[in-house]
Structure 1
Amino acid sequence: MTILLRNISNASVPTSPSPEMMSFMNLVLGIFILVSLLVGTVSNGLFLWVMWVKMKRTVNTLWFSHLIFTYLLFCTFLPFFAIYSFFGFHWVFGTVACKLIISLFSLTMFTTVFLLTVISLDRYLLICHPFWSQHHRTIPQAQRFVAGVWLCSLVLSVPYMAFQETRAMESGRTKCASNFAFSSDWDKPEAQALRHRVHVALFVVRFLLAFLLPFLIIMSCHCRMVWEMKKRRLARNRKPFWVLVAAVASFFICWIPYHLYHGSTTHWESFRTTRQALRVAMAVGECFNFCFTPILYLFIGEKFQQVFKTSILALLKRGFMDIPIIPMDNVNVNEAGHQSCSISSLELKISCGNNRPSP
C-alpha cells in the first residue's frame, strides 16, 4: 500500500515543467527582454543625454550620470540574452562572447550597487556633516570616487572572464557556464568537488559585496538621515530624496531573485522547478532594475498629471539636483503658498526664492 501511494503521488505531481511549457516560458521571457531592450535604450539614452548636455555638472548629477550609464551598458548585451532564451538556453555565440558578456554583466552589477552606496554616503555626509561636505564635496573628489568604483568593479569581474566557458550538454545544447575547476572533464569527481568549493566561495563574496554589506550601509545612512532631519527640524526637497529611495529599493528588490538563484545552484540541485522559477524571476528583476527604474525618476515625488505638463529636463533637474537642507524654522510661506527663505549661516549658505518648478 505504501509503495502504491508513493507511485500515485509521484505520478500526480510532476517534478519539472513540460517541454511545451518551458518553450512557452522561454518565448515570453525572450519577448520581455526585447521590450526591456527597447524601453531601456530609449529612456537611459535620453536621460543620459539630458544630464550630460542640458544640465549643470554637479556632484549629484555626476553620481547619477554614471549610474544611468551602467543601465545603458546593460542594455547593450540584452539581445544576446533574448536569443539565448528563444533557443531554449542554447548558447550559439562562442566562448569569447560568453566570457565577455558575463564579465560585463558582473561589471554593471558591482558598479550599480557601489554607486548607490556612494550616493547614500554622500547624502548622509551632506545632511549630518555639512561643515565637512562644504570643504570636501567637490566634483574632482567625486570623479576620483567614481574612478575607484569602476576600478573595484572591474577587479571583481575579472574572475568571470577566466572562469566562463561553453559546455556541450548531453541534450545537444551548448551552455555558457562557469568552469571553476579549469578542467575539461566536467564530470570528474575531483573536478566537481573543486568546482563546488570555488563556486560557493565566489557566491559568498559576491553576496556580501554586492548585496548584504551595501544594504546594511545604505540602510544605516538612511536611518541616520531621517533621525537627523527630525532632530534638527530640517526641510528638504522631497523629489531627490525619493529618487534615491526608488533607485535603492529597486536594486535590492530586483536582485533578490538573482542571489537566491545562484544560491540554489550551490545546494538545491534537486529543486529543479524552484530553480527554473528563480531563473525567470532573476531575468525579469534584472531587466526591470536596469531598464524600467529610470522611468520612475520622472514620476516619483510628482503628481501624475503634472508629469505630462512638465518637460523631461525640468523633471530631471528637480530629481537630480543637490539637495538644499533648510532648517524648518527659517522656512516661510508667502501669500501664494510657496516656500521662501534667506539664510546666511556658515553651515548652509543658502539663498532661495519662490520654490516654483522649472518651466
Structure 2
Amino acid sequence: MTEAYTTFGWTTISSVNSIFTNSTQAPVPSSGKSASLGIAFLSIAFIIGFPGNAFVIWTILTRIKKRTVTCLLILHLAIADIFVLLTAPFFLHVLGSGRWIFGNIICKMCYYISGVSMYASIFLIMFMSMDRFLAVAKPFTSQKIRTKPVVRGIIASIWLLASLLASTTLFYRTVKNMSGLLQCVTYHNSPKHMVFQYTFETLTGFIIPFTIIVSCYVYIGLRLRTVKFQTKQKTSHLVIMIIVTFALFWIPYQVVNMLQVSGEIFSSQNLTKAALKARNNAIALAFLSSSANPILYVFAGGNFIRTAGVGFMAKLFEGTANEPSSLRKISQVFRQKSHAESAELEKCVDKGDPSDHMLPNQQADLRD
C-alpha cells in the first residue's frame, strides 16, 4: 500500500534476476507513451479529486451544524484523500523530467503520507461498517459509542494507528542513483524484506479490515432478510458504494503484491514478471481511488442539485442525522419478532400433552 503511489509511467528493472540480486526495485524510464499515460491518470485524479474533496471538507465544516458519525467519517475520508493528492505535483514533475530532485526526506515523506492516508481510509471505512453492525446487533452499546468524545477518540486512534503501520515506508523508501539519474525507489536489503513489507501491507491494509467489513454487512444483511425489513436510507447505500468502490480500486494492487511475494517464495519468475508488468496499471487505479468519493457524492445527491444548488451535498450529508434511528428500528423489529416467537412457543408448550405436566406416579396410574 505504501508503494501504491509510486511514479506512473515507470517500470521496474526488466531483469527479474537482477531485482532479487540487489533487492532494489529500481525504476528506469519507460517509453514516452507510458509516461504520457501516467501523466494523464495523475492529472485526472488531481483535477477531479483535489477540488472535489476540498468541497466535501468545506461543506461539512461550514454548512452542517449537526455532524453525525457517518458525516465525521466522510470528512476524515476526504482529508485522507486530499493529503494523497497533495503529493501529485511531485510525481508529475518526475514523470516530466525523468528524475527525482526533491531529496531523500521528501522522497520518504511523500510515500509516508500516501501510506498513512490509505491506511486511514480503510480503517475509517471499517469503522463505518462496525458502527452499523453495533446499531443493529447491540443498539444500547451503539448509543454509548455514538457520542462526540468517543467518536473523536476513535478517529484519533485510527490516524495514530495508520501513522504507525505506514512507517515501513520510512525504512524501505530512499533516493538512489540509477543509471546516472536520481530516483526515489523502494530498497530492500534482502528478498525477505520485500516479502515482509508486501505481506504486512496486504494483511493490515486490506485482508483484515475488509474481512471485518464483509462480516459486518453479512450479519446486517441476514438480519434484514430475517425480519424482512426494507429501508430506503440513501446514506446506507452511499456507504456501501464507498466500500465497493474502494475495494475495486485496491484489489488489483493487493493482488500484484501477493503475486510478487509468491514469485519470491516459490522461485517463480513467471509470477514475478506478471506482477511487475501489472504493477503500473494497479498503481494507477489505486491513485484514482482518491478522486472517486466526490463523484459518488454527486451521483448520490443528484436529486438535491436542482433544489439546493451548491448546497446539495449538505442536504445529502444531513440525511445521516436520521440514520441511527433507522438502524435501531431494524434491531427493534428483530427483537419484537423474537419475543413474539418465544411467546408462541410458550403457548405451544402450555397446550401440549397433559401427561407432560404429570408426576411419574400419575402417569403410571393413567397407563394402568
The reply to whether TM is greater than 0.5 is yes
Residue 85 (structure 1) aligned with residue 95 (structure 2): yes
Instruction: After TM superposition, list the pairs within 5 Å mapping 1:72-221 onto structure 2.
Output: 72-88=82-98, 90-169=99-178, 171-181=179-189, 195-221=190-216
1:205 Cα deviation after fit: 1.2
Q: Measure, in 1, the Cα distance between the counterparts of 2:61 and 2:163.
A: 24
Q: Is the 8 A contact 2:199 2:257 kept in 1?
A: no
How far is the alpha carbon of 1:64 from its aligned partner? 1.4
Calculate percent identity across the aligned residue pairs: 22
Q: Map of 1:249-288 to 2, 5 A cutoff?
A: 249-266=244-261, 267=263, 274-275=274-275, 277-288=277-288
* Counterpart contact for 1:168–1:175, Cα < 8 Å: yes
Name the CA distance, whole Å, in 2 between partners of 1:82 and 1:321: 43
For residues 65 and 270 of structure 1, do their structure 2 counterparts lie closer, same or farther at Cα, with a shift above 3 Å needed?
Answer: same
Change (3 A) 1:145 1:241: same
Relative contact order, CA 8 A, sep 6+: which one is greater? 2
CA displacement 1:67-105 (0-9 Å, x = unmatched): 1110111111011122223344x3232211111111111
Matched, 1:27 2:36: yes
Inter-partner Cα distance in structure 2 for 1:208 and 1:80? 29
- The one-character-per-residue Cα deviations of 1:5-57 (angstroms, maximum 9, x if unpaired) are xxxxxxxxxx99xx998211211211221221121111100011111221122
Per mean C-alpha deviation after superposition, the further-off stretch among 60-69 and 225-234 is 225-234
TM-score of the pair, normalised by structure 1: 0.74
- The AA in structure 1 aligned to 2:242 is A
Shift of 1:319: 5.9
Shift of the alpha carbon at 1:198?
A: 1.4
Cα displacement (A) at 1:327: 4.8
**C-alpha deviations, 1:269-314, integer Å up to 9, x for none?**
66787445523322321232111222112313x6x66645542321
- Label 1:157 to 1:120 Cα distance change in 2 as closer, same or farther (>3 A): same
In structure 2, distance between residues paired with 1:59 and 1:235: 22
**Structure 2 equivalent of residue 61 of structure 1:** 71
Tell me, in whole angstroms, the C-alpha distance in 1 between the residues paired with 2:195 and 2:149. 39
Q: Which residue of 1 aligns with 2:235?
A: 240
Q: Which amino acid aligns with 2:104?
A: T
Aligned Cα RMSD in Å?
A: 2.9
Q: Cα deviations across residues 224-244 of structure 1 (Å, max 9, x unaligned)?
A: 111112223434343111111
Structure-2 separation of matches of 1:320 and 1:38? 31
Pairs aligned (count):
298
Could you list the runs of 5+ residues in structure 1 that have no partner in the other structure? 1-14, 182-194, 332-344, 346-359
* Range with greater deviation from structure 2 (259-268 or 118-127): 259-268
Structure with a larger share of its residues in helix: 2
Q: Matched residue of 1:236: which SS? A: coil
One-letter code of the match for 1:43? G
Distance 2:292 2:145 in 1: 34
Q: Deviations over 1:118-160 (max 9, x none)?
A: 1100111112221221233211111111111111111112221
Larger-gyration structure (1/2): 2
Q: Distance in 1 between matches of 2:187 and 2:85?
A: 26
Letter in 1 for 2:127: V
Counterpart secondary structure, 2:223: helix
- 1:49 aligned to 2:44? no
Decide whether aligned partners of structure 1 residues 128 and 233 sit closer, same or farther in structure 2, where only a CA change above 3 A counts: farther
